[in-house]
Structure 1
Amino acid sequence: QPIGTIAIDALFSPIQKVNFVVTKARVGQMTDYDKLIMEVLTDGTILPEDAIAYAAKILKDQLTVFINFDEKEESEGDQLSFDFEGKIEYLNRKIDELEFSVRSANCLKNANIHYIGELVQKSEQEMLKTKNFGRKSLQEIQESLDGMGLHLGMKLQGWSPPEKTDVEENNKEKKGGR
């Protein structure tokens, strides 16, 4: 292509040729492994490694709609249930007390999550479906929860936010006082 040419055709691609071969591979004494050999030729505007990485990312993004996380959560339910008494002080803390970025804090408020106990009951996928909530926010929250010995996707049977409990107690006191 001459210098100064701008490719405007829908068929323009920096990838010239792709070929792959799957062969048997041996790891130690095990011979039931496969080895993937890929040949990628480009026009030089992109590295073959980058082209494969980008293609894998696109494929992963497209296939996420087929993943059923509800089934996974149910099968791990016994494992995720735990005695939260030792963590009650963390679970009852307001999200505002944690030092999240402005974006993460706003996303949690918009999702009506005010307490850590409410947050840990959400799965990663539920959080990622929240508007403006991305991988960086997820990583930030996971790191903060890890520091407290908590994680997303926990089953907290019998836990309720302290605000709701306080409101109920105040209502009972008002009724009893009259």
Structure 2
Amino acid sequence: MSDIQNSNEYVFGPLEPGYGITFGNAVRRILLSSIKGLGLVGFKIKGVNNIFSSINGVSEDVEYIAVNLKKIVFKSDLEEFSMTLNAKGGKVDASMFDSVPGVEILNPEQYICNLSDSADISIEIFVQSGKGYVSSDMLEVPEGFIKLDSAFSPIERVSYNVKDMRVGQKTDYDQLSFNIKTNGSVDSYDALMKAFKILKDQSVDLMEKDDASDEEVEEVEVIADARWNDEIASSLQLSKRAQNVISNLKFIYIGDLITATEKDLFSVAGCGRTTVDEIRSVLQSKYKFDLDTKIEDWSEIRPKGMVL
């Protein structure tokens, strides 16, 4: 376990303006949902038929024992395995499970239950590999096991932060940092690299599907929206700085603004991330529109009389 880095911060940059949030949000979601881990999905206790039972001589009821069992952290390359525990009298913890080749319990001190001097208990657990959170009704366990919901993700916490970064004379590039904490079964850096690879592979898959020459791709028709013709000045309540950016770009209508990109806005001197975020937020709030919207032949259908 000593070679596992389960908590650390990783910094990347410089990134083009706006890319910090774009990558940060995507990678964070992948880390939380798509990194494989091990989870306890079923258990059985000798003499117990359901999770609402109690056991003579055991301080905790079965439901509480199940909660404690789910807190055990496993490390293994196996896709599934079972482990057994037999104890009599006194405190019972995870270290008392019989060893299984290729399986390590990372928190052997995890408390399970307490037995009276004359009481004994026999527990068998079933562990599987999976991703994210899976409810018990979606899991398959061997006959006789009581099924449990399972949170497979080995990522306990992940956050990202975006700061401005100077490159030459420009100060609006993004610096992206991730703070990641795992349960110790995976290395935090390895998990981050897997998330990047998943994002890359999914992007490649989308490109390949889009470029498939032997498939007909149905064109999506963009229906004209009368709100494109609303004038920005009278429709959006923006700060003076944001108004100046739009004025510098000579944007008059909502259609002018939503067909623009973040790069267009950043090209105006003095326009930073805060201003762009404000414009996007107000657009979303008022119209549910966003920047970089594709409107075919906007220059042709744009109201006449006002020239960009």
- Structure 1 length-normalised TM: 0.48
Which protein is richer in strand relative to its size?
2
From the CA coordinates, give the structure whose radius of gyration is larger.
2
Higher relative contact order (CA 8 A, sep 6+): 2
